[in-house]
Amino acid sequence: MIEICTIGGYNEVGKNSTAVKIGDEVYILDLGIHLENYVKYTRDEDIIDIHPRELMKAGAVPDVSLIDDWKSKVKLVMPTHAHLDHLGAIPYLGNNFNAGIMCTPFTSEVLKGILTEDKIRLNSKVKSMSANSAFQTNSVKIEFIHVTHSTPQTVMIALHTKEGIILYANDFKFDLFPTLGKKPNFKRLEELGKQKVLALVCDSTYAADARKMPSESIAKEMLKEVMLGIDSKNKHVVVTTFSSHIARLNSIVEFGRKMNRKIVFMGRSMSKYVRAAEATGIANFTSKVEVLKYSGQIKRKLKKIAKDRGKYLMVATGHQGEPNSVLSKMMNGELKFKFFPEDHIIFSCRTIPTPTNIENRQRLESDLRSFNVRIFKDIHQSGHAAREDLRDLINLVKPQHIIPAHGEPAMLNALADLAAEMGYKKGENVHVMGNGERIKL
C-alpha cells in the first residue's frame, strides 16, 4: 500500500511539499516556503532565525505537523530544484526529521549557501546525486530524471516501488531548444510509460494556458532585440531578472559584452546563485562580470557608474519590486543613483501575480517613470509547462492516477479537466486534493 499526503502547494502557488509513504518508509518531495507569506511575516526574503511553528502558523512554510504520525519513518527529504518555494523551508524544518537530504549538485550548493550564510546547522548532511541517476534504499529505487526549468539541474523524481512508480513532476517545462544544458530526458519518460506508473503528481500552474510553453531560446531572442536592437548609447542600462535563472543571466552577459559594456551583478541573491553555478561548473561569470553582494560595495560602484554613462550594464535584483532589492533601494534613496530620461530598464521576468508583488511592482515602475526612463517589460518566457506540454507528459508516462499539484484550486482543476479530456475520471483516477489530505493507492 502506498499513501500520499499533500502537505503544501495544493491550495496555493508556493510552500510545495508532498510526502509519500511506502510500507514503513516515508519520502518528502520538496519542502519550500510561500514567498509572499514569508516576506510579509519576516519583511525579508533571506532566511532568518524564526521558530518553525510561527512560520507554519503564518502559512510561510508547509505544516509538517500534518505528518506527525509519520515523523519517525521519514528517510529522505528531496527538493527537485533550487527555487525557494521548493527548498526554502529545509533550513527551518529539516531538523524535524531524522532524515537525509538529497538533491542535484546545483540545488545542493544553493541550499548549503543558505545554511552557511545564515549560520543554520542541519543534523543531516546534504548529499547530491546527478540527474539521470538512481539509487536503491531498502524498499524503493529513487531516480532523478532530467527536465528543463528556469533554474539548472531540475529533476522529476521517480519512486520505483513494488506497487508501481510514483512520478513527482513539480516545476518543469518541455524545452526543445534550451540555451543551457540538455533537453528533457524524453526517452526515459517514455520508458517509464511502458512500465506501471501508478501515480503522477504534476505541476498545474499553467494547466489552463492552452499552448505549448515557448523555449528559453525565444526569451533569449527577445532580450537580444531590446539589448542590441535599440540604441542605448550614453544611456544607463539596467536589467533585472530571477537570480536563480542562470540561463537568462548567461544571455544577459553575452549581449552585455556585445554592447561593449562592463557588466556588474548587484544583490545578495544574485551572488548566492552565481556562486552555486560556478561551484558546480554550470557557468563562469566571475571572469566576465563583477559580482557585488553588499550595500557598501554597491554604493561605491554606483558612484562610479553615475560618472560613466553608457559604459556599464547593471544587472540588479528587484524584478518583483521587492522592497529590499537593489533596484527598489536605488529608487527610495538608500542606494543613491540618478536616472536620466530614456535610460533603459529591462524587466526580463513577468510579475508573479500576488497582491504584494503587484503593488510593489506598480510602486517601483511609478518611481522609475518619474525619471522618464524607457521601461521594457515581460522580456520573458516561463519555466512552467503549459496545457499542451502537460498533455504530452501524460501521454508519455500513461499514469494510472493523476494528482494535480503546485497551484490554487482553479489551476488544479484545469489539470483535472485536461485529464478528463484524455479519458480520466475526476474522483476516480484524477484526485484534486487540498493541503493536508491523504490518499491510499
Q: Which residues of 403-416 are buried (b: 16+ CB within 10 A; e: fewer)?
A: bbbbbeeebbbbbb
pLDDT average per 10 residues of sequence, the chain (441 residues): 97 95 97 88 61 87 96 97 96 94 98 90 93 94 98 98 97 97 98 97 96 98 98 97 97 98 96 96 94 94 94 96 92 92 96 84 94 96 97 98 96 98 96 97 95
CA 140 from chain center: how many Å?
Answer: 27
| pLDDT for the residue 48 | 55
Closest CA to 81 of 315, 353, 273: 273
CB of 410 within 8 A of CB of 420?
no
CB of 108 within 8 A of CB of 77?
no
Question: Based on the number of CB atoms within 10 Å of its own CB, is 341 exposed (0-12), middle (13-18) or buried (19 or more)?
Answer: exposed
CATH of 216-376, one of 2.40.30.10, 3.20.20.140, 3.30.1330.10, 3.40.50.10710: 3.40.50.10710
Q: From CA 8, how far away is CA 315, in angstroms rounded? A: 33
Q: What architecture (CATH level 2) is domain 2-212+383-440?
A: 4-Layer Sandwich (3.60)
> How many other β-carbons are positioned within 10 Å of the β-carbon of residue 372?
11
Instruction: Give residue limits of the domains in the chain.
Output: 2-212+383-440, 216-376
Residue 254, all three cell numbers: 553575452
Strands (DSSP E) contained in 349-413 are 374-376, 401-405
| pLDDT for the residue 91 | 93
Q: From CA 262, how far away is CA 271, in angstroms rounded? A: 17
Alpha carbons within 13 angstroms on the beta-carbon side of residue 242 total 22
200: part of which helix (H) or strand (E)? strand 197-203
